[in-house]
Structure 1
Amino acid sequence: MNKQMMSILDRLNSIPLEGTERLSFLMQSFLLIKLNESDDFVSLLTSNKIQSKFDELSAYYDKQGIFITPIENPMIGNFLLGLVDLYEADVINFKDMAEAISLELIRKDRASFIMPEELCKLGIAFLEGKDTSVYCPFESSDSFAERLAKHSDVSYETKNMERFLVADVRSKLLNCNYEKYCSDPISQPKVIESGGLKRFTSSIAFPPMGVKYPTSNELNDIWGRFPEKSFTGDVLHLRHMLAQTTDRVVAFVAASFLSRSTAGEKKFKQSLLKNNWLEAVISLPTNILSPFLGANISMIILDKKRTIEQVKFIDASSNFEKKTAREIKLVGIDEIVKLLDSDKSKGKVAVVTSQEIEANEYDLSVPRYVFSQEAQALQSELEKYELTNLEDVVELIRPQAVKSIEGGEHELVEINISSFNKIGEYNGIHKVIYQEDDPVNKSSRASKQFLQKNDVLIASKGSIGRIGLVEDLPAELTIAGQSFMIARVSPNTKGVTPVSLYQFLSSKLGNEQLQRIQSGATIPFINIKDLKSLKIPLATQEQLDLAEQLRAEVKAQHNKIEKLQDSLNQLTQDRWF
């Protein structure tokens, strides 16, 4: 930003204004200069007529039902004079003022969010040829509206009055005219015509994330937008955009939404596939919105005029470069856009059928379908072996929650992720749980999950990829925590032993498969259905013997490392000469 403009913002600190007053005063000051360029501001200030100008602005917005904070601070005169001097000297311009408003908005409220320029360019690029009229609902979509207003009929709708004002003032400063509505797009949409919702060629938005509404039945929607009984914002936001669009919808969504499959979300995804509306899903770099938002996001592209059944999954997660230690920016926008035209699976794009998505329980996460070069090489290596599903060689047991009862007389030991070292051995760390009932009683809840020697523990929540092998039990009555799934090799199984299973799951081949089937953006997890279908190689007896030898060698080397570490600790902690 212009250094002089930064200096102006710093000078605001000398005026006793609260956060909302400060932003309002800044917007009104900039707007007064824009609307009264031909006036002599010096005479206005010296004759005390400037207050009437502020009052006129308040009256203008009041007629629209928009409240703007009144400005009555006597210290504003000198600030305005300095601002006008810089403007008339061409030191600052209206673009600088618009940027200052956005900066002040973020400074006032860290929860406020302005779309990065690169993400705006990417989203708008997918509207090419379908941008005659564009609808931009929800607070953070004003950035799209500004850029599209130069050549499209644009309408922006937000229920946030402050964001409405920011959008309105910025648009006046930048001479980008578009329609603005201060109303809730979900509960009280106001962008209507001829007795119905106005239909646009396309819609583009960055809807709010993590929002929940009353169920669609309780919203009293008179427009018939929400067939699914869902209260999650992701479904309602996309349904609303579809209702106001004839062709294409481009939306940024939380990555976690893609993998979720609650009743309403699953039905929504089924509907998209049935109608052939789902055109593409694009994964974006992790933390692309840092430091403003911590959520990982993806893009979803819908097209209501498609007849093709296939869906494109595009991996743009590596398209970034560092701006600062905490910030990154999106790069390779043209490359990402061109991938949408691909008709074959290759590199960063996978062309997937509806049947494949259905088989994956309507999980739309890009890593489910697009494999990195390393992952493709590992998959080719895996296919050299005779393979079977994990459920065919083990019994999978999901541990249940067992609460410790204060005053309970019976003890259980629970082991968790932290109970295993780097080579999957029990390290002595555990938790004691007390029970009132005797856990040995077969009717008790805990008795169904007692660990047995040679059980393989697979981390299915949180630390995906961590594997434990139960070679020693800390106590006769030991259970696994809920972060694990217990894999108990079935008796008389050929081609798999507990040791060979552990070795495989801990290897690159096994770990890559586990990473690929994980879901969830905030807390990763693996569905038991996916775990059951995990491909496991069947080994010859010679290979099984080699696995035992390898395990013994790993343990021996680990013991040597532990002894060396103990010696090092003794030298550094117990001696100083």
Structure 2
Amino acid sequence: MKEVWEIIAGLRGTMSMDELPALLLVEVAHKIGNVPETHGGALQKWKNFSADKAYPQLQAAAQTFLGLPPRDRLAALDVVLENSHRGKLVDHLWIASPAAQQIAQIMEGVSSVRCAFGWSLHPALQIGVAAAEAGDEVDLCFVDQNPEVCDMAALAAVSLEVTMSVFLGQPFERLDGVKAEAEISLPPFGWKMDKAAALPRETLEWLGAMQSGRLTSEPVAIADILAHAPQAQAIIGVSAGPLFRMVGVEVAARDELINAGRLQAVFDVPSGMIYHETGIATALLVMSPVGEKRDIVRFTDLSDPHFASRSSRGRYEARLDVTWAEMLSNSALEVDYARDVPVPEIEEQDRILTPSRYLSRTAAKLSAFNDRYEVKELSEIVELIRPVALPKDEDGEYLVHETAPSDVGEDGFLTEPPKIIKVGRGGLRKARNQQLEPGDVVISVKGTIGRVGLVPDDVPDRNADTFWTVGQSMMILRPRRGGMLPEALYEYLSSELMHEHLNTLAGGAVIQAFNMKDLKSLPIPVPTMEEQAKIREEFAKRQDAFRELERLRQEIGAMKAKSWPHRDLPPLNSAD
């Protein structure tokens, strides 16, 4: 399949590599004698290039392409798109071949499929090629609002001898009027839709939006399927955010999805497995038709070695010797990479659909440990103080050291934060409200999740003009009187098992963040005061060991400085 690319790779310098795939497909269509109607400039660019002296090379590549069977042609097109410069058009047009095949297999046997947005094109072509090989008929429709994407879709279908109607239009507007047995909707992530009035009333009603409020593509995709494809099996691609955000239409979309009883499965997709150029975690929502009301939802981790391998570049790739479609069966599961979750359990979790929340291998271990103790929610034993942004004042007389996760030392104590903010009298009250005190425990809740530290006894007091606070990526956990010793709380929260558990609860497409409700309700085992006193004593002994370790490090450094060549080399910052 690389033969086609090897021929046209020599065209570098004669054309923009972004244009190469479309020009190849136009040439192929001309050779077949079936050039589809186009909306963009592909045909004109082909005409212009046909006068170039390098045109025979394009003809040779097209001839080689046509010498392949349709499935190999699709593989060759995948190689061309992978190797040509990946411009914005290609990035939103093509997904990884193994993932496209897996999605197509889920739709195997359906009589009609509506595919919305550029990322659904590759699965659509896989469905068409597979149906032709099996001698089956499938009614394929592809919808996108970008003329160039639609041109690529029409040209690719002709080149692969796949029958597929292509409709130019915004897929959510439903102007194509297609009613299909199955739908694949892979919208751009986070696409802000300002023109809510262009959406059908039925879609808006499912979101409770009605032409107002913030609308983004992924919750709209869910409402679109609920409103316009009640009898269809559907696959929707989403980023991590809409699965857990507790504001806006994301909440409404999840509520309606759960209430409809149509959510069959959630596939947790590692970055790069489906979308080549997207370095964020994503998910696939699989919906069943109305009438198959679901009381359980199957969550599956596609990053598990059972489903994934690693490419030479370290990117996740879907294995083809196992199928995602098999995970949609009704058979019982006893595996680590998937779990059937009852809907009431999802409701207890505020209908958050982040897969790691339900697939955590740490929750059961922590629960078994906690059963030995009295257990309280974190908010019962500490006061949670969430910092706010401080108003900076270059002429301010107060110096505030703002703590970050990296300021936690290996001994567990905060070191003096190097970041300093000047605040004036007007911002002092805010700064004092989040000033760190001896015995405070801090925890990172954004970006780096679950880094825990203790505030030392020698931290500046409330009267000092220079003092410590925490940055907005951290929270202050101030132990309540008679609740729990800070050392005991630190030991539990900083354990490896708890650190892993906290990360499974966090969500975020790019920057991980912790839901405040989850933090407040975090179960904490509370040992007896006698046990806590022993924990404090053991913690103090460990601090003695850290001090001895530091002494040894300094001694080793001094020994090194006296040996060759270090004793004779000038210091790095010396003037000579």
TM-score (norm 2): 0.85
Q: Which runs of 5+ in 2 are unaligned?
A: 462-466, 566-576
Moved more, 134-143 or 104-113: 104-113
CA displacement at 1:459 relative to structure 2: 1.1
Moved more, 301-310 or 203-212: 301-310
1:381-530 mapped onto 2 (5 Å cutoff): 381-437=369-425, 444-476=429-461, 477-493=467-483, 496-530=484-518
Distance in 1 of aligned mates of 2:415 and 2:64: 73
Distance in 1 of aligned mates of 2:226 and 2:326: 24
Given that 2:2 and 2:76 are in contact with CA atoms closer than 8 Å, whether structure 1 keeps it comes out as: no
Decide whether aligned partners of structure 1 residues 343 and 491 sit closer, same or farther in structure 2, where only a CA change above 3 A counts.
farther
CA displacement at 1:349 relative to structure 2: 2.9
CA displacement at 1:67 relative to structure 2: 6.0
Match of 2:26 among 28, 35, 38: 28
Match of 1:174 among 160, 171, 190: 160
Q: Percent identity among equivalent residues?
A: 23
Moved more, 171-180 or 408-417: 408-417
Decide whether aligned partners of structure 1 residues 85 and 2 sit closer, same or farther in structure 2, where only a CA change above 3 A counts.
closer
Decide whether aligned partners of structure 1 residues 95 and 302 sit closer, same or farther in structure 2, where only a CA change above 3 A counts.
closer
Decide whether aligned partners of structure 1 residues 328 and 574 sit closer, same or farther in structure 2, where only a CA change above 3 A counts.
farther
Given that 2:144 and 2:169 are in contact with CA atoms closer than 8 Å, whether structure 1 keeps it comes out as: yes
Match of 2:117 among 123, 138, 142: 138
Deviations 1:112-161 (A, max 9, x none): 242222222332333345x2211101011111211222242111111122
1:364 aligns with 2:353: yes
Distance in 1 of aligned mates of 2:63 and 2:256: 54
1:239 aligns with 2:232: no
Decide whether aligned partners of structure 1 residues 74 and 31 sit closer, same or farther in structure 2, where only a CA change above 3 A counts.
closer
Moved more, 539-548 or 71-80: 71-80
2:16 partner amino acid: E
Decide whether aligned partners of structure 1 residues 35 and 96 sit closer, same or farther in structure 2, where only a CA change above 3 A counts.
farther
1:96-111 mapped onto 2 (5 Å cutoff): 98-99=74-75, 101-105=77-81, 107-111=84-88
RMSD over equivalenced CA pairs, Å: 2.9
Q: Which runs of 5+ in 1 are unaligned?
A: 37-56, 193-197
Task: Name the SS for the 1:156 alignment partner.
Answer: strand
1:324 partner amino acid: S
Distance in 1 of aligned mates of 2:101 and 2:20: 31
Decide whether aligned partners of structure 1 residues 102 and 402 sit closer, same or farther in structure 2, where only a CA change above 3 A counts.
same
Aligned residues: 537
Distance in 2 of aligned mates of 1:10 and 1:67: 19
1:68 aligns with 2:43: yes
2:2 aligned residue: 2
Distance in 1 of aligned mates of 2:358 and 2:61: 58
Decide whether aligned partners of structure 1 residues 402 and 14 sit closer, same or farther in structure 2, where only a CA change above 3 A counts.
closer
2:239 aligned residue: 254
1:225 aligned residue: 203
CA displacement at 1:530 relative to structure 2: 0.9
Decide whether aligned partners of structure 1 residues 325 and 574 sit closer, same or farther in structure 2, where only a CA change above 3 A counts.
farther
1:191-206 mapped onto 2 (5 Å cutoff): 191-192=176-177, 198-206=178-186
Decide whether aligned partners of structure 1 residues 435 and 82 sit closer, same or farther in structure 2, where only a CA change above 3 A counts.
closer
Given that 2:102 and 2:323 are in contact with CA atoms closer than 8 Å, whether structure 1 keeps it comes out as: no
Decide whether aligned partners of structure 1 residues 28 and 290 sit closer, same or farther in structure 2, where only a CA change above 3 A counts.
closer
Task: Name the SS for the 1:464 alignment partner.
Answer: strand
Distance in 2 of aligned mates of 1:422 and 1:153: 62
Distance in 2 of aligned mates of 1:86 and 1:481: 59
Given that 2:192 and 2:216 are in contact with CA atoms closer than 8 Å, whether structure 1 keeps it comes out as: yes
Deviations 1:409-462 (A, max 9, x none): 23333222122112321222332222221766xxx2222222211011111111
Given that 1:420 and 1:426 are in contact with CA atoms closer than 8 Å, whether structure 2 keeps it comes out as: yes
2:326 aligned residue: 338
Given that 1:161 and 1:182 are in contact with CA atoms closer than 8 Å, whether structure 2 keeps it comes out as: yes
2:568 aligned residue: none
Distance in 1 of aligned mates of 2:274 and 2:252: 29
1:164 partner amino acid: C
CA displacement at 1:11 relative to structure 2: 2.2
Distance in 1 of aligned mates of 2:328 and 2:534: 47
Distance in 1 of aligned mates of 2:391 and 2:383: 25
Distance in 2 of aligned mates of 1:234 and 1:88: 40
1:180 partner amino acid: V
1:72 partner amino acid: N
Task: Name the SS for the 1:249 alignment partner.
Answer: strand
